[in-house]
């Protein structure tokens, strides 16, 4: 009788410990995953900006060559980077202001749709001024964006591909 009693006690202790063990195992897994997540590589604000800089330049040369398909592609790359900054750079105040580019991006899109070099130029100037407006507001006024003079991408042809 005594041994049966001990067995029951042991079982119930075991049964009681089970959820506690599971909780500990789960907590360990959560800790490991959180550590992995914290160590995941994430581009910095400046890296996103360097990407935007490249697309800003390519957009200009595409527009200058009336290569509207390429211009459309490049402006969409800028739009994607804006969304990515808002998603991945939540701790930066400037991320909340990225939407200030939208009106200028809309007019670039409009110029591309209308295939109008004049509208393209004025909307590109508006876009470039908006870049600088934020740099001023964010105390990065020493980072001046301008209309590119020559393409740094000599390995990319901005003219319309006539072979197709």
CA–CA distance, 28 with 97 (Å, rounded to integer): 38
Site string for ligand HEC, 76-115 (x = CB under 6 A): --x---------------x--xx-xx--------------
What residues from 64 to 83 belong to the interface with ligand HEC (CB under 6 A)? 78
Stretch that binds ligand HEC, among 30-38, 69-77, 109-117, 123-131 (CB under 6 A): 123-131
Contact 78, 55 (CB under 8 A): yes
Joined tokens for residue 107: 């007019």
Q: Is 84 or 94 the residue whose CB approaches ligand HEC more closely?
A: 94
> Interface with ligand HEC includes 145 (CB under 6 A)?
yes
What would the DSSP string read from start to end of 11-58? HHHHHHHHHHHHHHHHHHHHHHHHHHHHHS----HHHHHHHHHHHHHH
Which lies closer to ligand HEC via its Cβ, residue 68 or residue 85?
Answer: 85
């Amino acid at each position: 009788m005594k041994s049966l009693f001990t067995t029951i006690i042991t079982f119930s202790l075991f049964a009681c410990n089970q959820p506690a063990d599971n909780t500990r195992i789960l907590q360990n897994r959560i800790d490991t995953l959180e550590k992995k997540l914290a160590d995941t590589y994430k581009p910095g604000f400046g890296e996103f900006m360097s990407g935007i800089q490249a697309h800003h330049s390519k957009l200009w040369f595409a527009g200058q060559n009336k290569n509207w398909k390429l211009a459309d592609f490049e402006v969409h790359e800028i739009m994607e980077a804006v969304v990515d900054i808002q998603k991945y750079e939540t701790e930066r105040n400037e991320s909340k202001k990225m939407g200030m580019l939208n009106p200028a991006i809309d007019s670039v899109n409009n110029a591309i749709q209308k295939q109008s070099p004049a509208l393209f130029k004025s909307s590109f100037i508006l876009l470039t001024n908006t870049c600088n407006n934020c740099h001023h507001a964010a105390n990065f006024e020493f980072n001046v964006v301008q209309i590119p003079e020559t393409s740094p991408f000599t390995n990319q042809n901005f003219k319309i591909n006539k072979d197709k």
